[in-house]
Each structure stands twice: as C-alpha cells, then as structure tokens.
Amino acid sequence: MSEKLEQLKERLAEVADISNATSVLDWDQQVNMPPAGNEARGQQLATLSKIAQEKFISDEVGRLIDDLQQEYDGADTDEAALVHVAARNYDKAKRVPPSFIAEQAIVTSRAFEAWMEARGKSDFSIFQPHLEKVLELVHKYISFFPPADHPYDTLLDDYERGMKTADVKAIFDGLRPKQVQLIKAINSAKQVKADFLYKKYNEKKLMDFGVEVITKFGYDWQRGRQDKAPHPFETSFSINDVRITTRYEADNPLATLFSTMHEAGHAMYEQGIHPAYERTPLSGGASLAVHESQSRMWENLVGRSLPFWEHFYPRIKKAFASQLDGVSLKSFYKAINKVEPSLIRVNADEATYNMHIMLRLELEIGMVEGKIAIKDLPEVWNAKMEEYLGVTPPNDAKGVLQDIHWSGGAIGYFSTYALGNLISVQLWEKITGDIRNLDDQIRMGDFSELLAWLRRNIHQHGQKYEPQQLVEKVTGSKITPEPYVRYLKKKYSEIYGL
C-alpha cells in the first residue's frame, strides 16, 4: 500500500469513527433517551457532525484524493474503489458548509421529538412548523449543487448512487398498471380469512419467537442486539456492532415478527461486509435499494413463504395455541399473505406495498417543486390514499405522520423501498437457479447456504460497486420490474385461485 493511501485511510478512519459515534447517539435518542434530553442531544449531534464534516473536507484530504486518483486511474482493485468512492463523497461534502451540517442536526433532532409528540397525539399541526424548516434546509442543500435534470435528483443520489428521478419514474410507470391489474383481480376473488392474526398475542413470546427465527437466519448476536423503538430500524457502528429494533403493535401483533425479520435482513448485510472495509468509505451497503432488497428478501421471500412456515408453524402454533386453535398451516400461510389495501406502509402486503411508495414519491417531488405546501400534506395524503388504495386514514397518526423519515430530513429516500422489492426478486431468481434445493433447505430450517450466497455475491462487496453495476454483475441485468411482477402473479394466483 502506498504511503499516501495509508495517510488517506487514517484520515477517513477518523471521520468514520466520529460518524459512528454520532450514530450511537442517534440510536440512543430513539431507544433510551428521556424526552427532556432532546435539546442537549441535538447540540451533541450538531457538534460531532460538524467536526466530522470539517475533518473530511480538509485541503489535505483533497490533495491526497487528487494524487491517488491519478495513481489508481483505471485500476480494478479495492484500493481504486476506495479512492473513487472517497473522491465522490469528498466532492459532495465539500459543497456543503459545516455550519449547515450543524444546523441540520439541530433542526432534525427537534423535528424528531415534534414528530413523536404529533404522532402520539395524532396532530399534524405540532409537526408542521418543524417539517417546514426541514424542507427549507432541503432546498438550501439542493442549492449547493450544480443544477440537475430535476432538483429531486440531488436528493435521490444521496441514497441511490447514479439513479435519476426520470429513471425511477420510468420503472414505476411500467410497474404501476401491472400491480393495479393484479390488485383488482385479487379484489374480485374470494378473500382469505385472517381474523386469528389480530387476536391478543403475548408480546414477550412474539419477541422470543422472532429472536429464534433470526438466530436461525444467521444474525450474529455477538455482534448485535435488538431493542424497541417507535419506528423499527437497523443501525451500524462497525461491522462488529450492528443493532436492530422492533416494536409491538397491539392491533397487529405479528407485525413484530416480520419487523424483526426485516431489520435482521439489513443487519446481516452489514455484518457480512468485508472486514478490510471497516472504517473506510467502502463500508456499508451499496445503496438503500440494495439494502432494502436484503430486508425484503428475508421478510417476504423467506419469511412469508410456504417452505418457511412448514418448518416454523408447529413452533408458533405451540407458543400461541389458543390464538391458532383449529388454524391449519395452509390457512395461516394464506392469512399472512392476505392482500388488502391498508393504511400503514410497513404493514402493507406485497401486492399493495409499492403503491404506498409511489404515493410518497409523488408527495416528495411535489414538496421539492413547491407544488405541495406542507400545511396541505394531510389533505393531499388522504386524497392520494383514497385514489391509490381506496382507503382514507381516520387520523394523522395513521396517515401523514406514520413515517419517521421526514423528521430526519430524509427526503429522497422512499423510492428505494420499492426498488429494493424489485432487486430482491431479481436476485432471488438467480439464487434459486444456483441453489436448486433451496426450498428443501428452508423447510429444514437451514438458511446457511442462502446466507453464504448473499455474503459471497452481495454483502462482502460493501460500497465497492454502484447499485446498478452490482445488480447487473450478479443477475446480468440492471434493475427491472419483470421478475417482481412474475413473482407476485405466481404467488397470488396460487393463494387466490386466479
């Protein structure tokens, strides 16, 4: 390794350490911190974020990157990838003043607490002024960058490298009518029974069952833990400290189980990144869509599959004998895959989930373009829910306030969820071609070969490849909706007799 590369890695490692310390504080804010600590926590996050930004955009780091780009130009190595990603991140970070980073940390910390209160009271007006300030900073952030084809491109690129708003719209425009057609066909079929899923389930037993499941998946508890939070999430402080959270919903108890599987999918990705990438820009997932492909794969393609429940159903039926009395495996499988337009995105079935994402993408683009005022969001949200899914939220908590993302300034994020769905099935078609007896392995509760495949083809690479590049490298095609449509049609034709 050249001396200059060693120097760059040392400086980038310090920046990574500070950023990870910031993540610890953010995790604590959502899991443990008392409400009165919010103001101080905002200042702490602001200080650390500003220090990390200042260290990263120093002239010395810039000179090292410039020199190393010439040295590694055209090379296809980990070192060249590190320099490339560092240069890209440096160029973006250099445009954003440290004072802005500090201000954003304070504003979003206050917005998170306001969102928590507003959601608890189902009163958007509490959150409105904070979201207006968040959006003001979003517009300011966009102004730091050269004009793009669409202002939303600048935001999207932070979460999905290289993806354009037009690209996402084109994918969604091709997907939407096919999903709408499928949903209509399902709506005209005889609905499956699922009332037994909504009885009272003991919270601790559900949590314990979820722990049993993700332990079999391969989540490493020596390098992770699970806690409760208002909105489930995964966060990493290093490859060896990857944490998840879940929540218990009394009116939808089994959501706890699927939330645990989902976040474990994210976490196992982070735990599988090559150890050599620790404390470098190559650590972390290739993109949020690729990350989401891992969580949706374990939650849905594995966790809602018939082979999975052929293994686990006797266990859950024993744990919840009264709730599942007289319920057959086939009836349970159909129930957890029931298609029914719903209010809450995270609990939506596979056939309707993407409609929730398309709605949010439209709202975000509208906000960024200035065509949708923040004060009108609840009304616009409800109208689009009725238009897209035929349901109207009864209150703000089950409508516009259900997601945490906007409180953290994460505008540009939502489309990655739907893209992740598409990638998950695109990968799954490749996986099932490579592992011919995968269903039989899952029936035995053996997920080791599946996880090994993901480690080898996806996880270990971290951010070495851009998302479209990685998907094409593994599957032979860039992100496409066709495999996902095939998967939905096959699955739901069997469940609903279409």
What pairing do the DSSP bridges indicate for beta strands 226-228 and 241-246?
parallel
Catalytic site residue from 160, 234, 263, 364 = 263
Residue 57: how many other CB atoms lie within 10 Å: 20
Summarize pLDDT for 405-449 with one digit per residue, the tens: 999 999 998 999 999 999 999 999 999 999 999 999 999 999 999
Alpha-helical (H) ranges within 219-254 are: none
**480 token code pair:** 């496409």
- Nearest CA to 388 out of 423, 409, 361, 415 is that of 361
Judge whether residue 42 has pLDDT over 90.
no
Consecutive H or E run containing 255: helix 255-271
263 is catalytic: yes
- Nearest CA to 13 out of 279, 343, 211 is that of 279
Average pLDDT, the chain: 94
Output b/e per residue, 397-412; b: 16+ Cβ within 10 A. bbbbbbbbebbbbbbb
pLDDT of residue 452: 98
CA distance 7 to 14: 11
pLDDT of residue 1: 66
CA distance 463 to 461: 6
CA distance 198 to 332: 12
Domain 165-496 indexed as CATH 3.40.50.1000: no
Q: Using 50, 70 and 90 to split pLDDT, how confident is the model at 330?
A: very high
Question: What is the pTM for the complete model shown?
Answer: 0.90
